[in-house]
Structure 1
Amino acid sequence: MADEATAAEAQPSPAVGGRSGRPLSAAFVRTVTAPGKYHDGGGLGLLLRVEPTGSKRWVQRLTIGHRRREIGLGSPPVVTLAMAREAALANARLARDGVDPVGERRRARETLSFAQAVDRHLSSKLDEFSNAKHRAQWRSTLDSYAGPVIGALPVAQIAVADVLRVLQPIWATRTETASRLRGRIEAVLSWATVAGHRTGDNPARWKGNLDHLLPKPAKIARSGNQPALALADTPRWFAAVAQRPGAASLALRFAALTAARSGEVRGALWSEIDPEARVWTVPAERMKAGRAHRVPLTAPALAIIEAARSLPAGRAPLIFPAPSGVALSDMALSAVMRRVHAAATTDGDPGFVDPRSGRPAVPHGLRSTFRDWAAEGGYERDMAEIALAHTVGSAVERAYRRSDMLERRRSMMSAWAGLLTGAPSTAAAVPLRGRQ
């Protein structure tokens, strides 16, 4: 009984117009069920209204000029306590200047596009990202997939059908990316609702919405692994890619030779290459695990780096830049693979497909092909996992492991390069000039 009394005392008074003097907490907002009006305090006029049905909604009471207004700010849990406070503060500032927030929101809904909403949402959320890489990933995903489809649409007009036009083309083939994209679209539209740029349900919400229209990510039969090349096809595929000019083709071959992730290759800098040691060191901030990763460079990999000097933007800090000097997009490497596959499917040839799923291979699947090759070749498991920059062993084991097996991995990567290029494996160096 004492615990119940203490809990009751901790809750703000539900009486209409009553004020406890204490601000609401996120836990209270989540758990309160008793009907009433719960004031947040702080002078913003924000309160949580709980209906007898159990539904909850945020309301703000403001005086604008001589007129008292009640403004709806959405409902938990979509609109959190922090989001409601942020919107209430923005409204209070407008009211102080004699501006009606409701009218302002109505005007904003008529003009703000999704692309503009992305800009504004991200500008307010930058501090929540742990590093620049996460910020870039957030932005890149929205720009690459959502921007071309709904970027120009007013956020007030975006409906479920528009979100589906973004997600459906990649839902079955790039399920993890599509799932993250959906969450990011939902976050942007949720911000737009709280900020007054749209009303109604969030069309990107999963539960009770898109889950009725799209298969659950975990249930998509073919989404387990990224489609990988069959080992028998790797020399033919590598030769086909080598016939294509441009930075994306070079980067794709370099990714295959190093078993690196696409993002690590696309962001590779000349300053990360040690020509004497024949090593590429990817700094921690560009690695998924947050640790620097050394990659031994075989003769074919060094030859590709040399070839990159002749690219149009060869003076850029990036090794594989786009013609404008900026980093290649993830779609650039995927496009090369699609074109190579399409060109190979003539005359009844199946092209370059995953032997398990039958789907066309994608850049990330090259890492799976390498891992299969290493396992079949009898290479030590830890050495292959380190080559993929995976976390190996427990925290204690990692603390005592001083070596990253660089030279042993060099021999393994040389043999892998021999398979790709169809040449005898060799670790011999290709003369690599210093940066001009």
Structure 2
Amino acid sequence: MPPRAKELTPTQIKGLKHPGGEKPVKVAVGGVSGLYVQIWPSGAKSWVLRTRYGDWQETLLKDGTIQRGRKKREIGLGAYPDVLPGAARDRAREAKDMLLRGVDPIAERKATQAALIAAARRGMTFKEAWEKFAAEKVKEFSTERYRKQWRATVEAYALPELGKMAVQDIDLQDVLRVLRPIWDGKTVTAVKVRERVEKVLAWATVQGYRKGDNPARWRGNLDMVLPAPSKVAGAENYPALQLDDVGRWWQALQARDGMGAKALAFQAMTATRSGAIRFATWSEIDLATRLWTIQPGRQSSKITASDTAKRIPLTDGMVALLESLPRLEGCDLVFWAPRGGALSDATMGKTMRVIHEANLKSGGKGFTDAKTGDQAVPHGLRSSFRTWVAERTTFDGDLAEVALFHRVGSKVAQAYNRADQVEKRRHMMAAWGDFLAGAEPADNVVRMAGAGQ
């Protein structure tokens, strides 16, 4: 057995100096076998316990001899003088006792630290997770107005119920408490809330703040306990232009100048979403073949990256509008803002509102939704188009659904019938354009009693 080191006093330990050189040195301090103070060239000191543990093992050396021994272990016990000599000796005794019991002190320390971190992560509230997630997500949005709208849905409906809860503790019933009060009466809003809550919880899972399934997931989860949004009787619809008002609305729109009015007219003719219009580029449009092709995943198109490209047939009226547009040098956008970049969503909505208010001011009845009486909005033009197909034409309803980028038929039917029926849709959209302009009905269009009078 090697001789036991002399136990150094605190004053002696304080006075120890590095002898010189680039490597740290270790000085046995006694009191506990294997306890050293490690001195660095800078003069900094720390405590180290050098010991052996475990079963005896035999090792065959190169010279053929067999060496018997146990595993070596070097354990850091903290810095000096943060840890004083008495505390260092106590820690050394505790570590050696753990090794005798077959417990690795370093592994135990790491496990304890990991448990503390995990506990802290599990304690993160939904509000804290929302703020962290939202801070990064809003960078994707181009306008401050949309950033506020995007945040408002969660802050108005989800935070009151979930805000103070730990994300780890949120389950299906908690999510249902948020959604059920608004699912029937404010379905569109409820869907947005669900999607955003799902993303926050997914972010929390990826960051290690929660484990398990996402209780805000729709498929195979919430769809088992909530009706599909499209089937809810009281589902929200965007205020739509009434068919009997289409002609005079179109005339009022044609009387207005500006890129916002042009974009709104193109949206009306194509029955597409405003995001598809606002971020349309000339590289997507082929005037020679009279096609506008939107690739999957394109910004604000609502076409997922896993979907297929969508082709919109261009009619004579659409081509004439496109050819009349000024182009901005160095910008590929079809409809651009005065200061460059894409039009804001508010621009098209404002154009619609100005037309409505001007009509009211001149003694007209404005342009409102038949059911709610609310002022019609750009997205409602899609509903007007769909109603026109159903009530005023003999065009196939599925053809209209394809034009609106809606899925048609069962999943099996979708898999086998992938034709987008461009030429049939071109004929239908041309008839819709004629209806907008108040022209004589074409084939497939039902003449209504009193039409043209």
The alignment's TM-score, normalised by the length of structure 2, stands at 0.52
Partner in structure 2 of residue 297 of structure 1: 314
Cα distance change of structure 1 residues 148 and 389 upon mapping to structure 2, 3 Å threshold: closer
- Residue 148 (structure 2) pairs with residue 146 (structure 1): yes
Cα distance change of structure 1 residues 185 and 417 upon mapping to structure 2, 3 Å threshold: same
Cα distance change of structure 1 residues 297 and 40 upon mapping to structure 2, 3 Å threshold: farther
Partner in structure 2 of residue 352 of structure 1: 367
Cα distance change of structure 1 residues 314 and 176 upon mapping to structure 2, 3 Å threshold: farther
Q: How far does residue 423 in structure 1 lie from its aligned partner after superposition?
A: 2.7
Moved more, 141-150 or 354-363: 141-150
Q: Of 219, 222, 226, which aligns to 2:238? A: 226
Segments of structure 1 that go 5 or more residues without pairing to the other structure are: 1-19, 22-38, 49-57, 61-72, 84-113, 124-134, 164-172, 196-216, 428-436
Cα distance change of structure 1 residues 425 and 268 upon mapping to structure 2, 3 Å threshold: farther
Cα distance change of structure 1 residues 317 and 397 upon mapping to structure 2, 3 Å threshold: same
2:248 maps to amino acid: R
Q: How far does residue 274 in structure 1 lie from its aligned partner after superposition?
A: 1.3
1:417 maps to amino acid: G
- Residue 279 (structure 2) pairs with residue 267 (structure 1): yes
Matches of 1:228 and 1:278 in 2, distance apart? 28
Partner in structure 1 of residue 252 of structure 2: 240
- Residue 300 (structure 2) pairs with residue 284 (structure 1): no
- Residue 381 (structure 2) pairs with residue 361 (structure 1): no
1:33-72: CA deviation from partner (whole Å, max 9, x where unpaired): xxxxxx9947346267xxxxxxxxx548xxxxxxxxxxxx
Identity %: 39
**1:161-200 paired onto structure 2 within 5 Å:** 176=188, 180=192
1:277 maps to amino acid: T
- Residue 450 (structure 2) pairs with residue 400 (structure 1): no
The count of aligned residue pairs is 281
1:373-412: CA deviation from partner (whole Å, max 9, x where unpaired): 0111121011111111111112221222242111111111
Partner in structure 2 of residue 254 of structure 1: 266
Q: How far does residue 184 in structure 1 lie from its aligned partner after superposition?
A: 5.6
Partner in structure 1 of residue 437 of structure 2: 421
1:146 maps to amino acid: K
Moved more, 314-323 or 403-412: 314-323
1:325 maps to amino acid: G
Partner in structure 2 of residue 330 of structure 1: 345
Matches of 2:123 and 2:397 in 1, distance apart? 52
Moved more, 407-416 or 280-289: 280-289
The question of whether the paired residues in 1 share the 8 Å contact of 2:186 and 2:236 is answered with no
Matches of 2:143 and 2:189 in 1, distance apart? 8
Moved more, 368-377 or 237-246: 237-246
Cα distance change of structure 1 residues 175 and 347 upon mapping to structure 2, 3 Å threshold: farther
Q: Of 116, 141, 154, which aligns to 1:46? A: 116
The question of whether the paired residues in 2 share the 8 Å contact of 1:280 and 1:297 is answered with yes
Matches of 2:411 and 2:197 in 1, distance apart? 36
Matches of 1:44 and 1:294 in 2, distance apart? 53
Segments of structure 2 that go 5 or more residues without pairing to the other structure are: 1-102, 164-184, 208-228, 444-453
Matches of 1:77 and 1:227 in 2, distance apart? 34
Aligned to 1:43, the other structure's residue is in SS state: helix
Q: How far does residue 224 in structure 1 lie from its aligned partner after superposition?
A: 2.0
Cα distance change of structure 1 residues 259 and 187 upon mapping to structure 2, 3 Å threshold: closer
RMSD (CA atoms): 4.5
The question of whether the paired residues in 2 share the 8 Å contact of 1:417 and 1:425 is answered with no
Matches of 1:175 and 1:246 in 2, distance apart? 34
Matches of 2:387 and 2:281 in 1, distance apart? 29
Cα distance change of structure 1 residues 267 and 178 upon mapping to structure 2, 3 Å threshold: farther
1:106-153: CA deviation from partner (whole Å, max 9, x where unpaired): xxxxxxxx8xx7785339xxxxxxxxxxx84xx358652528999xxx
The question of whether the paired residues in 1 share the 8 Å contact of 2:239 and 2:372 is answered with yes
Matches of 1:233 and 1:411 in 2, distance apart? 23
Q: How far does residue 424 in structure 1 lie from its aligned partner after superposition?
A: 4.1
Matches of 1:284 and 1:186 in 2, distance apart? 23
Matches of 1:407 and 1:242 in 2, distance apart? 27
